[in-house]
Chain A
Amino acid sequence: MERQRPRIGGVLYRASAYAVLAFVLAPLAVIVWVAFFANPIIGFPPTGYTLRWFARAWASEDFRSGFLLSVQLGIAAAAISLLLGVPASIAIARHDFPGREAINTLLMAPLVVPGIVGGAALFIGYLAFELATGIQIAGNLAGLLIAHTLLAIPWTVRLVTAALLRVDASIIEAAVNLGASPFVAFRRVTLPAIRPGLVAAVMLSFVISFIDLEKSLFLVGPGRTTLQIAIMNYLEWNLDPTIAAVAAVQIAIIGLALLAADRAVGLTRII
C-alpha cells in the first residue's frame, strides 16, 4: 500500500533505519580507511596515505605466523568437518531412525554452548588426558584443530542437510533402480546436486574457524597463536595503523569468502 505523501513519521523511520545501519558499518569502514593513513599515530584527518603498514604487518612475526596458522586451521577444520558432517547429514536428511532428533541436537550443540565455556572444558579435558596418558594435546596443533572442527560441524551439518532436502529423492531412486550402486548414485547424482551447499559449508566453516577467539584462547601455546589471539594480544598495548592494516586484510578475506558463500546459496539463508 503506497502512501500519497511522505509523512514525517515515514521520513523519521527511514532516517533511523539508515542511521542504525551506519552505526553497524561505520567502525569497519573507518578501520579500513585508517590502514592507509601515513601518520604513524592514529589521528584524524590523515596527513597522507601509504601502503607501508601492510608491509609492516606482514613483517611482524606474530601476525604472519598467526595468519598462516589460522589459514591452515580454517582449511583443515573445513575439510574434517566435511568428512564428519556430510555422512551425518545424509543420515539425518534421508533416513528416519530412532534417536534422529537427539543426534541432530547433539550435532548442533557446539553452537549453543558458549565459546568460553566449551574452550575451558576442552582445555581441562586435554590436561586431564595428558595427566592420565602422558600425551600432550593442549598447546598443540591437534588440540586447536579439534576445537575448530567442533565449531565447524554444526554449520556444515545444517547447510548440507538443507541442500540434501532440496534434492528430489526420486532422482536418486531412479538412478538406483537403473542399476547404480548407492556409492555411484551418490557421486554422480547427489554430489553434483548439493555442490552449492558444500561450497557454502566449506566457506562458512573456514570463516567461523578463522575468526574464532574464545575457544582458541585456552588452546594456543607459546609460538603457536592464531591470528585472532595475536590481534587480541597486540591490542592490549597498541592501537596503530599496523593493526588497522591487519584488520583490513581480515575484512577483505572474510568478505570474499562470504561473497562466495552468498553466490552459492544466499548468505542470509545460512545465518
Chain B
Amino acid sequence: MAGRPPPAQPRRRIPGAPFLAAPGTLFVVLFLLLPLCLMLRYSFNRFVPGDMMREALTGANYAKFLHDPFYQDVLGTTLWVSAVSTAICVVAGFPVAYYLARSAGPQLKPALMMAVALPLLMGNAVRSAAWMVMLGKNGVLAKLAAVTGIAADVNLMYTPTAVIVAMVSVLLPFMIITVQSSLENADRAIEEAAASLGAPPLRVLVRVVLPLCSPGLVAGAVLCFVLSMNAYATPVLIGGPKMHMMAPTVYDEIAKAMNWPFGAALAFILMAVTLILTVASNVVAQRHYRKWTG
C-alpha cells in the first residue's frame, strides 16, 4: 500500500521546496513515530499493580507472554482465524475478481465495482452489527433454518465460525479489488492464445491465469491476513467475551488493566509476528513465482 512514490516531474528547482513537506512529516513523526518509540521503551518497564509502572530495563513482559499459555492461546486463535479467513478470501474472491476483469460488460462493471468498493468503508462496527442481525438467535439465518426445517433453534453468534464468516465478508472486497487490478494488468492475449491452441478452460486457469495474477493473489492475501490479525470489532462483537484475539487483548491490557508495559509488549509481539509472516510469505511466493514462470 505504501510503495515507493512515483518519480517527480522534472521542474525548475525552487530552493527550500522540500520544506513544504515539513509540517506534514513533523506531524507524523510527533504523533506516530515518537509515541511508538515511547511505547517500545515502556514495554521494557516493570509493572507494579496500583503504581502503574517502574522505570526498568527488563524483558519480563515478553517473558510473561512466552510463559503464559493463556496469551499464547490468544495469539494462536488470532493466527488460525486469520489464516482460515485469508484462505477463504483467496478462494471466494478469485471468481469475482475474474468476473469483474474479464466477463462483466462495460455497463455492468462500474456498478459492480462500486458494489464491491462501497462496503469497504462502511465501518467495522456497522458491518459487525449487520452480521449480528444475520447470525443471531432471531436472525435471518436462524429463521431460514427454521422455515426450511434444517434446524429448529440455531444461534451462530459467539462461535469461531461466526467470527470467520463475518471477517471473510469484511475482507473479501480487499481481495477482490487487489486481484481484479492485477488481472486487469495481465495481458489477456496470453489466455486467448492458450485457449485457441486447444487448452481446456480449467487448464488455462491453472497454467496461465493463476500464475499471471499470482502477485495479486499474494498481495491480496497479505492484506487480508494483516487486517484480520489486527481486527477489533468483529472478534469483540461477534466472538463475544469468551473469544480472545490479540487486538482486543491489547486494548484490555492498556486501557482497562492499565498494565502498559505488558500491553505494549503484546502490541509489539502482534506487529512482529504479522511482519515476519508477511515477509516470509512474500519470499516463499517469489521463489514459487520464479519456478512457475521459469
B20 to A: closest C-beta gap in Å: 4
The answer to whether A87 and B24 touch (CB under 8 A), given A10-B201, A104-B5, A116-B247, is yes
Select the stretch in B57-65, B66-74, B120-128 that faces chain A.
Answer: B120-128
**Chain A residues whose CB sits within 8 angstroms of the CB of B232 once the complex forms:** 115-116, 213-214, 217
In A188-246, the 8 Å CB interface with B consists of 207-208, 210-211, 213-214, 217-218, 228, 231-232, 235-236, 239, 243-244
Of chain B, the residue at the smallest CB distance from A207 is B121
The answer to whether A84 and B119 touch (CB under 8 A), given A120-B254, A121-B38, A161-B6, is no
**Chain B residues whose CB sits within 8 angstroms of the CB of A165 once the complex forms:** 6, 9
Of chain A, the residue at the smallest CB distance from B193 is A1
Of chain A, the residue at the smallest CB distance from B247 is A116
Q: Is the beta-carbon distance between B103 and A150 smaller than 8 angstroms? A: no
Q: Is the beta-carbon distance between B92 and A20 smaller than 8 angstroms? A: yes
Partner of A268, one of B35, B117, B264: B117
B28 within 8 A of partner (CB): yes
Per-residue B-contact encoding for A102-131, CB less than 8 Å = 1, 0 else: 011111111111111110111111001000
Complex formed: what's the CA distance from A228 to B124 in Å? Answer: 9
Q: Is the beta-carbon distance between A116 and B251 smaller than 8 angstroms? A: yes
Partner of A9, one of B12, B33, B201, B255: B201
Complex formed: what's the CA distance from A92 to B28 in Å? Answer: 16
A134 within 8 A of partner (CB): no
Of chain B, the residue at the smallest CB distance from A270 is B117
From DSSP, what is the main secondary structure of chain B's interface residues?
helix
Partner of A107, one of B25, B103, B169: B25
From DSSP, what is the main secondary structure of chain A's interface residues?
helix
Q: Is the beta-carbon distance between A228 and B125 smaller than 8 angstroms? A: yes
In B141-168, the 8 Å CB interface with A consists of 143, 168
Q: Is the beta-carbon distance between A30 and B39 smaller than 8 angstroms? A: no
Q: Is the beta-carbon distance between B251 and A217 smaller than 8 angstroms? A: yes
Given A87-B23, A124-B254, A250-B123, 5 additional A-B pairs, CB 8 A: A91-B21, A95-B18, A96-B8, A147-B31, A211-B126
The contact sample of 11 A-B pairs, CB cut-off 8 A, is: A21-B96, A41-B138, A42-B136, A43-B143, A111-B1, A123-B254, A124-B254, A153-B24, A218-B254, A231-B123, A271-B177
Residues on B lying within 8 angstroms of A by beta carbon are: 1-14, 17-21, 23-25, 27-29, 31-36, 38-39, 42, 92-93, 95-96, 98-99, 103, 112-134, 136, 138-140, 143, 168-169, 172-173, 176-177, 181, 191-192, 195-196, 201-202, 226, 229-230, 232-233, 236-237, 247, 250-251, 254-255, 260, 263-264, 267, 270-271, 274
Residues on A lying within 8 angstroms of B by beta carbon are: 1, 7, 9-10, 13-14, 16-17, 20-21, 23-28, 30-31, 34, 41-44, 83-85, 87-88, 90-97, 99-101, 103-118, 120-125, 128, 146-147, 149-150, 153, 157, 161-162, 165, 169, 172-173, 176, 182, 207-208, 210-211, 213-214, 217-218, 228, 231-232, 235-236, 239, 243-244, 247, 250-251, 254-255, 258, 262, 267-268, 271
